[in-house]
């Protein structure tokens, strides 16, 4: 029986692609890298930068630290992160789940202070018991690590009563590594086929379907 629901942020709760992609373009231009096509930039929405910068953008090790700092200055200090909106139907889903007694947490690879700022700006932070994210020093960075952080802050949560909702294979892999189930949503930035191949229980197209699934489990 599901009692606790951990939500990924980018691509699951919010459409953050415009702000993230703009920050990536600014960063790549500053360090002399070619700007890849939109499809490649879009892949960078969700995974931790320790994966996406070298693998998708070709950022060299010697540039990585300063490149991330440049991106974060635009995204955090200049409030680029607030160029964002919640996906249609998401707030209704959150409201329905809370009213039915489920415990909701945010579980994101985005730095936690940034995640809190965005959710407060959108006015949907009120639905969550806690907002857990990556640390600025990247000691907590992967989805598995953030899931474990969620459990450490809510030690009464049982893994068999907890599910992660995400939009990419990274969410599915992180959930599997942490020992919990994952369902996917198709309105984000990942591939339905990849999520199913990596072990997602189901992938849904609409928030109402997510609610029906959780209520039946």
Residue pLDDT, tens place only, 25-66: 999 999 999 999 999 998 888 788 889 999 999 999 999 999
CB 169 within 8 A of CB 142: no
Question: Of residues 8, 167, 171, 173, which has the active-site annotation?
Answer: 8
Active site residue 8: yes
User: φ and ψ at 133, to 5 degrees?
Assistant: -150, -175
Question: What value does the mean pLDDT take over residues 7-17?
Answer: 95
The number of beta carbons lying within 10 Å of the beta carbon of residue 103 is 18
What's the pLDDT at 138?
A: 80
What domains are defined for the chain? 4-15+84-215 (3.40.50.1000), 17-82 (1.10.150.240)
Residue pLDDT, tens place only, 127-181: 999 999 999 888 998 999 999 999 999 999 999 999 999 999 999 999 999 999 9
What's the pLDDT at 113?
A: 94
Give the residue among 181, 198, 182 at the shortest CA–CA distance from 12: 182
Separation of alpha carbons 138 and 49, rounded Å: 10
């Amino acid at each position: 029986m599901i009692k606790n629901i951990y939500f990924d942020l980018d691509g699951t709760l919010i459409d953050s692609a415009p702000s993230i992609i703009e920050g990536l373009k600014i960063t790549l231009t500053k360090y002399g890298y070619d700007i890849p096509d939109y499809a490649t930039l879009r892949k960078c929405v969700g995974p931790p930068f320790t994966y996406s910068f070298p693998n998708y953008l070709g950022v060299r090790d010697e540039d990585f630290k300063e490149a991330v700092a440049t991106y974060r200055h635009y995204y955090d200090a200049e409030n680029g992160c607030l160029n964002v909106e919640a996906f249609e139907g998401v707030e209704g889903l959150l409201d329905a789940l809370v009213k039915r007694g489920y415990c909701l947490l945010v579980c994101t690879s985005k730095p936690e202070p940034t995640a809190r700022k965005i959710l407060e700006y959108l006015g949907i932070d009120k639905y969550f018991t806690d907002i857990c994210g990556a640390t600025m020093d990247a000691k907590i960075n992967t989805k598995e690590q953030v899931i474990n952080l969620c459990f450490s802050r809510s030690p009464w949560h049982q893994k068999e009563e907890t599910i992660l909702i995400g939009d990419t294979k990274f969410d599915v892999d992180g959930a599997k590594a942490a020992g919990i189930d994952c369902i996917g949503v198709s309105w984000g930035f990942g591939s339905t086929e990849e999520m199913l191949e990596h072990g997602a229980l189901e992938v849904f197209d609409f928030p109402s379907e997510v609610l029906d699934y959780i209520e039946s489990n």
